[in-house]
Structures are given as C-alpha cells and as structure tokens.
C-alpha cells in the first residue's frame, strides 16, 4: 500500500480538489491507498486567529463567517446538488466548532483549547474530500485520525505513543485498505481520554509518515506545488535545482535547518523502515519529482535554507565569572520548559548566545525566569541562513550586503544570523 499526503495548497480551491481525484485515478496504482489531507489553503492560520479572539473574550463572528464562506463556496462549486449530504455534514462541523469556541472556560489552558479549535481545519477538508471522491466514483472510508494516532497531552506538539498507534492502525486499517481508499486528516492526534492534540504546525507530513510506518507502506508521496525537493526555496531564490534522488540524512538535515517543504519529524519513521518518500508536483503529477531514500551521494549542489522571524538572545553572567556548565544547564532547562528550540548557539567566555524562532510570550517568560542570574539581551526580526555543502561563492551569495550578527561553520554547513 501507499500513502499520499495532500497539503493546504492541494486543497485550496475546487479546482485543486478535482486535481486530487485526477491524481488518485492516474497515479494511485492498484489503489491500496491512504490519503492524508491538511486544512484547506490558509485555514489553520484563520482558525488560530478565530481562537485568539475567542480566548481573549472578543467577538470572533466576522472571522468565523469568512472561514465558513470559504469552505461553503468551494463545497457549492464541487457539489451542485444542494441536497448532497456534504453540505449538512459541513454545517454540523461548523456548529460544533462554534460551540467549542463559545464554551472555552475562563482560565482555560491556552494550548489545550488551541488544539480543540484549530483541529477543525483538517476535519472540514477531509470531510469534503471524502464526499467528493465518493461522488467521483472513488469509493472511500473517512476515518478520524485522532482515534488512530494516540499522543500524550503535550498540547500543540503531541508526543506519539508509537506502540499503541502502530498496533491500532495495523489492526483496523490493513484489511479496510484492501477494500477501498481511506481518507484521513493530517496534523491531528488524540489523547487516551478523548481530547484532540495537534502535532505541531505543518505536521501533516509527519502524520502521513506515522501511517506509512504503521502500515509498512511500500512508499509515501507528498504532493506539493514545487517540482520536488529543490536546493532552495523558489520563493526566495531563482535558478533552483531539483534533487532527483537524495538520502534520508541530507533531507532530515535540510528539514531540521528549516526547509519548510518537509516537516522535520517526517523522515525518521520512514528511514527506520526504509520506506521511500517521493516529493511530487501536484501541478505535473507525471514528472519525476524527488525520491528520498537510503542512498549516498558524493557531490550535492549547495542547499540554501532560510528561517524567518528569528530572535538572537545572549545571556551574560553578571559577576565576570565564566559561563560554566552549570550556567548552561540552567539556561537549557529554562529553554526546554518554555519549549524554545535552539536553531544555532555559540559560547564565549562570559556570554552564551542562541538563535530561536521568535515567540514573544515565551521569550518574556524566559527572561523572567533567568533575569536574576543573567544579563539578557535580544534582537528580533532576524533571518537565519544555512548553507549545506557550502563554498565561498554560495556564502557571498547569501551574505553580501547583510549585517551578520552571528556566524558559524562546520566542514559541511555554514550558518549566519543576519539582519
């Protein structure tokens, strides 16, 4: 069997849904297929805004109506029959969402209720896809991924219980897949007491990998608006090169450094079972794309990765003693508690610098926790550039004309935090 994952761009319009049906028909092979789908277009961002308004006690009506209209317009275009069951189903889901928003208790844990709300994006899209494929003669079962991917209650980044998840998916889906297509949601998991969790923004690739791993898939495909895995994001660079084939290791590093085309957690489960991952273009499904597998390459074009919205924080000891392992331990513990991930770090005699994604509220709490022990300074609005397999030409390509705040290089990787 195979797993196909369709992201937000693959379901952003009625036309895009029709294209999925075309891809399933033409590339689905013997159709032992599990389809994992993300929320439509930018719905997750819209739901984040709606949730913020509701959580802070403000009216969410206008944003809610916009989100509803967007889904209804596409559904109306796909299903001319006003009595088609999809319309009622969608209405019901939006009514449930409204109820969830209206019943956020005061003092509720932000992240927990975020998950209960933002998860609706994938419920909407997968419901529409299920009904649409059905109408196209592609018989399929809709399943609720929250009942298959079990996580702990680390809200917004649920940690997967792999044994339970693999066992349950294998037990319930293996024979079902022999009968028909299965449609499910990316990004979502569930706790053992019935709460929804999410797996981290852009986590649908990871969901697909969890299903592929659990079902010992022969391959997983992620359908994107690019021709494959490129050596740079074409939104930032011209003259990009497609990698026809690339190793799990190179890919996991690119994803780790921020190549947003693949969620960083996607590769490990696939590599563990040597399941090849194909990055393919939904605009040109017949084209080769990129195969990510257990292969080795001697020379590979430099890969450029940009991470936006970075924050550079420096911690200095206050009494001119050196930064010790104990100091570092204190800083690392606080970072882990605030769920701030280090994208780059550098140590000097009396100060320690880190580059992280900028989360104002988490940074504020970090400063409050550590300000008695350290002098803390930070800069925001920065970009982290990473070049894998760099040479002098590639370095000048990204750094010329920029002010570099922190720079580091290993034998294979160059990184610079720039303004």
Ligand X SMILES: N[C@@H](CC(=O)OP(=O)(O)O)C(=O)O
Ligand Y SMILES: Nc1ncnc2c1ncn2[C@@H]1O[C@H](COP(=O)(O)OP(=O)(O)O)[C@@H](O)[C@H]1O
Of 13-21, 227-235, 374-382, 407-415, which segment contacts ligand Y by CB under 6 A?
Answer: 227-235
Of 39-47, 220-228, 363-371, 406-414, which segment contacts ligand Y by CB under 6 A?
Answer: 220-228
Least distance CB 250 / ligand X (angstroms):
21
Q: Which is nearer to ligand Y, 51 or 304 (CB)?
A: 304
Q: Tell me which residue of 120, 124, 123 sits closest to 100, measured CA to CA.
A: 120
Beta bridge mates, 413 = 388
Residue carrying structure tokens 């921020």: 258
Token pair in block for residue 199: 């797996």
* Helix, strand, coil percentages for the chain (3-state, nearest 5): 40, 25, 35
Residues that bind ligand X (CB under 6 A): 7-8, 38-39, 44, 121, 186-187, 201-204
- Distance between CA atoms of 157 and 48, rounded to whole angstroms? 15
Q: Which is nearer to ligand X, 89 or 265 (CB)?
A: 265
Among residues 3, 117, 230, 416, the one that binds ligand Y under rule CB under 6 A? 230
Which string of b and e fits 329-340 if b means at least 16 CB within 10 Å? ebbeebbeebeb
Cβ 413 vs Cβ 387: under 8 Å: yes
Site string for ligand Y, 266-295 (x = CB under 6 A): ------------------------------
Q: Tell me which residue of 248, 262, 357 sits closest to 313, measured CA to CA.
A: 357
Partner interacting with residue 10 (select from ligand X, ligand Y, none; CB below 5-8 Å by kind): ligand Y
Cβ 4 vs Cβ 24: under 8 Å: yes
Binding status of residue 233 toward ligand Y by CB under 6 A: yes
**Phi, psi (deg, nearest 5) at residue 311:** -130, 130
Token pair in block for residue 235: 């939104």
- Distance between CA atoms of 323 and 321, rounded to whole angstroms? 7
Q: Which is nearer to ligand X, 7 or 302 (CB)?
A: 7
Q: Which is nearer to ligand Y, 11 or 335 (CB)?
A: 11
Which residues 247-266 are close enough to bind ligand Y by CB under 6 A? Answer: 259-261
Partner interacting with residue 187 (select from ligand Y, ligand X, none; CB below 5-8 Å by kind): ligand X
Residue carrying structure tokens 């800069």: 379
Cβ 61 vs Cβ 209: under 8 Å: no
Q: Tell me the chain's radius of gyration from C-alpha atoms.
A: 23
Least distance CB 222 / ligand Y (angstroms):
7
Q: Which is nearer to ligand X, 254 or 354 (CB)?
A: 254
Q: Which is nearer to ligand X, 203 or 302 (CB)?
A: 203
208 vs 38, 148, 156, 265, CA distance in Å?
Answer: 10, 12, 17, 11
Site size toward ligand Y (CB under 6 A) is 18
Binding status of residue 80 toward ligand Y by CB under 6 A: no
Binding status of residue 52 toward ligand Y by CB under 6 A: no
**Phi, psi (deg, nearest 5) at residue 39:** -70, 155
Beta bridge mates, 311 = 356
Of 48-56, 231-239, 359-367, 403-411, which segment contacts ligand Y by CB under 6 A?
Answer: 231-239
Least distance CB 115 / ligand X (angstroms):
12
Cβ 63 vs Cβ 49: under 8 Å: yes
Partner interacting with residue 52 (select from ligand Y, ligand X, none; CB below 5-8 Å by kind): none
**Phi, psi (deg, nearest 5) at residue 97:** -60, -45
Partner interacting with residue 261 (select from ligand X, ligand Y, none; CB below 5-8 Å by kind): ligand Y
Least distance CB 29 / ligand X (angstroms):
23
Least distance CB 157 / ligand X (angstroms):
12
Among residues 4, 8, 104, 209, the one that binds ligand Y under rule CB under 6 A? 8
Cβ 222 vs Cβ 8: under 8 Å: no
Q: Which is nearer to ligand X, 140 or 266 (CB)?
A: 266
Contacting positions for ligand Y (CB under 6 A): 7-10, 38, 202, 224-226, 229-230, 232-235, 259-261
């Amino acid at each position: 069997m195979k797993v196909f994952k369709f992201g937000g761009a693959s379901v952003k319009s009625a036309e895009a849904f029709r294209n999925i049906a075309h891809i399933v028909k033409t590339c689905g092979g013997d159709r032992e297929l599990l389809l994992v789908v993300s929320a439509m277009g930018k719905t997750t961002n819209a739901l984040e805004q709606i949730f913020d308004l509701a959580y802070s006690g403000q009216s969410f009506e206008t944003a809610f109506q916009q989100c509803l209209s967007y889904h209804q317009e596409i559904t109306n275009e796909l299903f001319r029959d006003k009595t088609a069951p999809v319309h009622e189903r969608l209405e019901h889901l939006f009514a449930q969402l409204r109820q969830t928003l209206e019943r956020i208790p005061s003092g509720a844990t932000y992240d927990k209720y975020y998950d209960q709300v933002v998860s609706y994006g994938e419920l909407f899209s997968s419901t529409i896809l299920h009904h649409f494929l059905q109408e196209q003669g592609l018989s399929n079962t809709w399943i609720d991924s929250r009942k298959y991917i079990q996580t702990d209650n680390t809200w917004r980044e649920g940690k997967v219980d792999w044994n339970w998840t693999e066992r349950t998916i294998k037990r319930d889906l293996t024979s079902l897949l022999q009968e028909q297509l299965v449609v499910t949601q990316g990004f979502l998991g569930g706790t053992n007491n019935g709460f929804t969790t999410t797996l981290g923004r852009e986590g649908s690739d990871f969901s697909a990998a969890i299903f592929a791993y659990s079902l010992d898939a022969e391959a997983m495909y992620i359908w994107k608006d690019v021709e494959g895995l490129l050596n740079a994001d074409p939104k930032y660079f011209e003259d990009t090169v497609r990698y026809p084939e690339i190793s799990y290791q190179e890919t996991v590093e690119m994803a780790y450094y921020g190549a947003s085309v693949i969620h960083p957690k996607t590769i490990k489960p696939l590599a563990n079972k040597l399941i090849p991952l194909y990055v393919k273009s939904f605009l040109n499904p017949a084209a080769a794309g990129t195969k990510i597998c257990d292969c080795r390459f001697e020379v590979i074009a430099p890969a450029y990765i940009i991470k936006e919205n970075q924050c550079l924080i420096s911690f200095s000891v206050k009494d001119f003693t050196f930064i010790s392992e104990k100091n570092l331990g204190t800083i690392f513990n606080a970072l882990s508690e605030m769920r701030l991930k280090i994208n780059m770090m550098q140590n000097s005699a009396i100060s320690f610098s880190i580059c992280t994604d900028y989360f104002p509220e988490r940074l504020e709490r970090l400063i409050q926790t550590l300000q008695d022990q350290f002098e803390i300074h930070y800069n925001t609005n920065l970009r982290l550039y990473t070049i894998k397999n760099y040479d002098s030409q590639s370095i000048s390509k990204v750094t010329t004309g920029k002010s570099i705040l922190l720079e580091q290089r290993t034998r294979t990787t160059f990184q610079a935090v720039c303004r």
